[in-house]
Structure 1
């Protein structure tokens, strides 16, 4: 499980504004600012985003390299994927794949992809089989047979 990620951005105020709007439909908010001077020498200032009493997505000012990372956020429904995509586009994100099933992965893999203001590839995905459902309709993924 991922605990945290630092993402270098070229324009901190613009990046904060973008992610505040784009991640709001997922319940992820800008919740904490960390002063690098409070840490060990050379620690960067950070802007933290998170949910459910966890901060796991951090922005730091620096040289952005769009090829360096692809980030996938979890959505709790296809509607949340759609809402993220619309919010991210309104906030200035560029299309990198409209909301829909990603059949090359699984027919139940529903996602949307955008490029953020620095060109990073951001995906929001809803995988119905990974969410708790009433036991009467729960999807069961069979375990692979070992040879």
Structure 2
């Protein structure tokens, strides 16, 4: 399990607006801004997103490298996956795989894939066996 991920984005304002819309169906919200001057020398300013009292997804301004990361967000249901895809597309994402079963992984692996405005590969995934259902 990961505690947190930072990604570097070209246009911080655009990315904040995108992620506020795209992650809302998953219950993930923009919850905190961290001023880099409060950290060790050279620490970047960060925009933090999270859910259930945890902040785990952070944006920082800079030169984006979309090939540097693929980020999979946990969805609590197939409906959340569908809503993520719809919200992300409405926010300006590029489709990289509509909602549906990913049979090449497991018949119970339900996901949707998009590229964010910087080209990062994002996935909302519902794995029913990890939620106590079969």
Q: What TM-score bracket applies, with the shorter chain setting the length?
A: over 0.9
Specify every segment of 5 or more residues in structure 2 that has no aligned partner in the other structure, as ranges. Answer: none
1:67 and 1:28 mapped to 2: Cα distance? 23
Structure 2 counterpart of 1:116? 116
Structure 1 outlier segments of 4+, above 4 Å = none
1:13 deviates by: 0.3
Partner of residue 40, structure 2: 40
Instruction: Report what 1:101 is aligned to.
Output: 101
Q: Normalising to structure 2: TM-score of the pair?
A: 0.98
- For the pair shown, the structure with the greater C-alpha radius of gyration is 1
Report the TM-score, using the length of structure 1 for normalisation. 0.90
- 2-structure distance, mates of 1:128, 1:82: 15
124-133 or 70-79, which moves further after superposition?
Answer: 124-133
Q: In structure 1, what is the equivalent of residue 77 of structure 2?
A: 77
Alignment of 1:1-147 (within 5 A): 1-133=1-133, 139=134
Count how many residue pairs are aligned between Structure 1 and Structure 2.
Answer: 134
Unaligned runs of 5+ in 1: 134-138, 140-147
Aligned CA-pair RMSD: 0.6
